[in-house]
Amino acid sequence: MPRLSALIRQGLAGTEQAHGVFFQAANRCCALGAAMRAQGMGPAYINDFLDQWTGVLSRKARCPQWLTCGLSADVESVVIHMNDDHRVSREEIATWLEEQGL
């Protein structure tokens, strides 16, 4: 199974970043939406994607902006938080996941 960080990078091509949703229009997606896109999955498959990646997404993590933010949660929540609340680029999220071995 490929790393989540690699899938996010693969799914970026031709898209812009979305916030607050996995997918928006045909060419906008969040970080996790980019990973889904790399696997050929669209909005109808969000639950399937989350089930497939539950082993990775359920791991505990801290927001990399820990000193100012304080969020400690599962990887899924931290990725969504970074994408939506801190407006971290999907590329930077992929790098953070890579640093976590994911």
The parent domain of residue 65 ranges over 4-99
User: 3-class DSSP state for residue 72?
Assistant: strand
The pLDDT assigned to 62 comes to 95
How sure is the predictor about 70, in pLDDT bands with cuts at 50, 70 and 90? confident
Phi and psi torsions of 74, nearest 5° = -80, 160
Q: Tell whether the model's pLDDT for residue 15 goes beyond 90.
A: yes
Number of domains in the chain: 1
Across the chain, mean pLDDT equals: 96
The pLDDT assigned to 68 comes to 87
